[in-house]
Structure 1
């Protein structure tokens, strides 16, 4: 989606905390939950990249804005920044807590910079870190994460320590390039993407 003559860029917070999978020998894919659009403040100076790697974003009661990392308003730092749609782009780093989608903005003037569509992989400056292994949140599934069966043929991520709303049933023990590379003890295959797209999960006894 392209916006013209807007005074600010737009961010969409993507919180993909769930997975879908076929139990037993299933393959997990994003659960398709729709993101919520939130406006953001003034972009970086002309010539700079909006939410470049190492920069920070913050929010109070309203939208996320790009802020100085030393500001008391800063809540998360950019681990990686990519242009283009996230579905077709590189996978965020494993430590990512949340992903901000940057909608395209064309200011239409030489004084104000345009911003291409893209996404920023963010890490919270302070705990909690829902993207860490076993925490039950974040936009990625990584080795160490746990899942539970929501219904027949569908599993979702949950905290491994049982502190979530649902007790864990499987733990992703490793990532692999193909199912055949998973240990023989694997009970569930989870699609996690990246260089090792198959998550090898074992049932928790």
Structure 2
């Protein structure tokens, strides 16, 4: 007679609960998302400056120039205050290059050399700047422009045309300029009764100088050193 085992089989093991990520791994995942968002914001902000041709309050010139120019000894040198530049037809109508100030192709002189920035509103050139040019370095033999931004040239025209002078209606907004009711810069010579003269550019309305009749609060812009235009009678 065969022996029969009547002992019931052991119960199946309980299901293993899914492992939750540790606090460290969750924090790492969130940090990665934040970093990715930061890159997108930075790239989007830079692209808006490069491709937005409708900004009437910004500089009136090309944002690009070569990072250096070869002198008579064949050695390349960086831009310096007092250098001159002119159009660079080899790289397109919106590009500039360094040339001798007595060269027939020279159209502007560098008033100041400033750091490069992906935040265009953070670059504030000195008064009298007619054009702002982003200087970049390129590698290889490419002549199509672009490259890595290295510095910014604040240029003043060698001609008698100076839209960056206070009140002239061009360049960056400075004290002495005029704006319309939308905070857009206009030439003071054509200002009307509803337009305003810029008495100051400050962070808070309370910082506006005496004579301010209409402080204009602006939308937030990354890097811009002022948030309020102190407007007064033209």
Q: TM range, normalised to the smaller chain?
A: 0.5 to 0.7
1:148 aligns with 2:180: yes
Q: Please give the TM-score of this superposition, normalised by the length of structure 2.
A: 0.56
Which structure's residues are more often strand, by fraction?
1
Equivalent residues in 2 for 1:22-37, closer than 5 Å? none
Aligned to 1:170: 196
* Secondary structure in structure 1 of the residue aligned to 2:189: coil
Aligned to 1:71: 103
* Secondary structure in structure 2 of the residue aligned to 1:161: helix
Deviation at 1:176, TM superposition (A): 3.7
Q: CA RMSD in A?
A: 3.9
Deviation at 1:162, TM superposition (A): 0.9
* Secondary structure in structure 1 of the residue aligned to 2:179: strand
Higher relative contact order (CA 8 A, sep 6+): 1
Aligned to 1:57: 85
Q: Please give the TM-score of this superposition, normalised by the length of structure 1.
A: 0.62
Structure 2 unaligned spans of 5+:
1-49, 142-146
Aligned residues, how many?
166
1:121 aligns with 2:154: yes
Mapped to 1, the partners of 2:86 and 2:173 lie a distance apart of 24
Deviation at 1:38, TM superposition (A): 6.1
Which structure's residues are more often helix, by fraction?
2
Point out the structure with max Rg over C-alpha.
2
Aligned to 1:7: none
1:200 aligns with 2:226: no
